Copies of this chain bind each other. A is one copy, B any other.
Amino acid sequence: MIGIFDSGVGGMTVARAIEQLCPGLPFIYLGDIARTPYGSKSSETIIRYSMRNTDFLLEKGAKLIVIACNSASSTAAKALRSHYDIPIIDVISPAAEKAARTSTSGRIGVVGTRATIESDVYRKRIQDISPNAQVYGQACPLFVPLVEEGWLSQRETKMIVKKYLQPLRGKQVDTLVLGCTHYPLLKNVIGPRIGKGVSLIDSSIETAKHLKIFLDNHPELVEDITSTTTSHFYVTDLTQPAQALASKIFGRKINLEKTDV
């Protein structure tokens, strides 16, 4: 069983990409809606929540953890890896690798929550691969509330996207990492506003690809995993907007089960 957690519903874009790339692979998803969002909270608090989420998934039988949240990946992945003795996949490395491979000019932009951008982890990971890359981060704290409000293509959304991206346009990046699992839902608004020639890197899709390769290389894990039950979606709080967004991401009705962690 694969365990996936996120601060809320955004990480379902990762779960959805995994479902499409690894059909038949069951997972347990935990969305910590009772404490969402993580991106505006301190590292200490995000680490504490991430450990609780991981404990819950392990109790449910997870053999591998996917941190489907850029804020948690950027601040808590190290703490989780040193604390737990199972494979832990974060969303940062796959997106950073793809960005480093994609950029030809070496000028790469990263958009994310305040926690993700302040951690500076994308710059470090990208420069581990391409030491000469110039990485420009831009925190976009209003993107998550806009997505959660369902304002995916409103005029106000377009203006806010344009405003946040303005500094990155000045840097003439040729690659932009969507460093938050909510942001793929704004892809059609972000694309034209960062510029035609700029490649968008979707951390959700890259993470699913990375997981697939990891499982191909660890067939014993897959054997163990696929012998078990169907996927489940747990949330620490149940609200109508979360239910609607979950169904929007999957394109079908998703049954969210309330739990405490």
Is residue A231 contacting chain B, with contact meaning CB distance below 8 A?
Answer: no
Is residue A97 contacting chain B, with contact meaning CB distance below 8 A?
Answer: no
Contact B145 A156, beta carbon cutoff 8 Å:
no
Interface size class of A (residues with CB under 8 A): 20 to 34
Is residue A45 contacting chain B, with contact meaning CB distance below 8 A?
Answer: yes
Contact with B along A169-197 (1 / 0, CB 8 A): 00000000000000000000000000000
Contact with B along A33-76 (1 / 0, CB 8 A): 11100001110110000000000000000000000000000000
Partner pick for A149 among B33, B44, B141, CB 8 A cutoff? B141
Partner pick for A35 among B35, B149, B160, B163, CB 8 A cutoff? B35
Chain B residues with CB under 8 Å of A19's CB are: none
Residue of B nearest to A150 (CB): B141
Contact with B along A217-261 (1 / 0, CB 8 A): 000000000000000000011110100000000000000000000
* Closest chain B CB from A77 CB (angstroms): 20
Partner pick for A156 among B35, B44, B159, CB 8 A cutoff? B159
Chain B residues with CB under 8 Å of A163's CB are: 156
* Closest chain B CB from A169 CB (angstroms): 17
Residue of B nearest to A114 (CB): B241
Partner pick for A237 among B45, B149, B236, CB 8 A cutoff? B45
Contact A241 B40, beta carbon cutoff 8 Å:
yes
Chain B residues with CB under 8 Å of A236's CB are: 45
Q: In the bound complex, what is the Cα–Cα distance between A43 and B115 (angstroms)? A: 28
Q: In the bound complex, what is the Cα–Cα distance between A239 and B114 (angstroms)? A: 10
Once A34-B35, A34-B45, A40-B239 are accepted as A-B contacts, the answer to whether A159 and B155 lie under 8 Å apart by CB is yes
Contact B160 A156, beta carbon cutoff 8 Å:
yes
Contact B159 A237, beta carbon cutoff 8 Å:
no
Partner pick for A146 among B40, B41, B142, CB 8 A cutoff? B142
Q: In the bound complex, what is the Cα–Cα distance between A33 and B49 (angstroms)? A: 14
Residues on A lying within 8 angstroms of B by beta carbon are: 33-35, 40-42, 44-45, 114, 141-142, 145-146, 148-149, 151, 155-156, 159-160, 163, 236-239, 241
